[in-house]
Amino acid sequence: MNEDFFVEQLKSLGGLWIHGGGAAPHALLTSGRHSNGYVNMTKVIENPMAAGDFCRALINALTLKGKPDVVAGSAMGAITIAYQVAAVYGGRTRAVYTEKVGSEMVLKRFDIAAGEKVLVVEDTMTTGGTTVKTIQALKAAGCDVLPVCGVLVNRSGKSELDIPGEAEKYKIVEVIKLDIESWDADKCPLCSAGSKALRPKENWKILNSEL
Ligand SMILES: [Zn+2]
């Protein structure tokens, strides 16, 4: 199963829409920005069979030597993904998550011993900001974080992450790489070309019609 398979899988689950060009409508995001694509990873997370396929593909792409002791994601989306990845690794591999307390990301309810290898995973990476905070939270808790992050859908355009104050870079390994752009509403080239901006969830049929 290759990247194209998973792109089609995501589309068929209703988790991905890409603008087909021309004056067809485009996406109005929750942030108010306009975009030529829309990703909704909840469609994978809510489906154990599909999530399992994605997580097995991620583990194959990661090619780690041996199993990590712990797989970590950030609440909420990546909790399920970390759990599923740990389940596929099997054995004694555990799944944990970091969570927001106020404006801080912390590792709150899990014990990880010094020297245990921690793999960070994400459902989707947009800017990489959440993953950086997750790694920092784990490091602040004394964890030994592997210098690689596993991401189901990478739309950051990056192949590695910089952690402020650290010399080491973290390699990003993904199942799907997507090139999706977004713009401020008043600078949207698709509006300029006569295309209409629509909220994806409410207008899913219109966005996906062949007309
Ligand atoms: Zn627009």
Q: What is the pLDDT along the chain (211 residues), one digit of tens a residue?
A: 699 999 999 999 999 999 988 889 999 998 899 999 999 999 999 999 999 999 999 999 999 999 999 999 999 989 999 999 999 999 999 999 999 999 899 999 999 999 999 999 999 998 899 999 999 999 999 999 999 999 999 999 999 999 999 998 999 999 999 999 999 999 999 999 999 999 998 998 888 885 5
pLDDT score for 209: 81
State the distance from the centre of ligand 1 to the C-alpha of 185, rounded, in angstroms: 6
Entry pTM? 0.91
Residue 21 in 3-state DSSP? coil
pLDDT score for 210: 59
**Contact between residue 144 and residue 116 where contact means Cβ atoms under 8 Å apart:** yes
State the distance from the centre of ligand 1 to the C-alpha of 182, rounded, in angstroms: 9
State the distance from the centre of ligand 1 to the C-alpha of 210, rounded, in angstroms: 20
pLDDT score for 21: 85
Beta strand 104-106 pairing with 94-101: antiparallel
Residue 91 in 3-state DSSP? coil
pLDDT score for 30: 86
How far is Cα 101 from Cα 107, in angstroms, rounded to an integer?
10
State the distance from the centre of ligand 1 to the C-alpha of 198, rounded, in angstroms: 9
Domains of the chain: 3-208 (3.40.50.2020)
Query: Which of 149, 119, 177 is closest to 2 using CA atoms?
Result: 177
State the distance from the centre of ligand 1 to the C-alpha of 58, rounded, in angstroms: 33
**Contact between residue 33 and residue 187 where contact means Cβ atoms under 8 Å apart:** no
State the distance from the centre of ligand 1 to the C-alpha of 14, rounded, in angstroms: 21
Tokens 């927001």 locate to 100
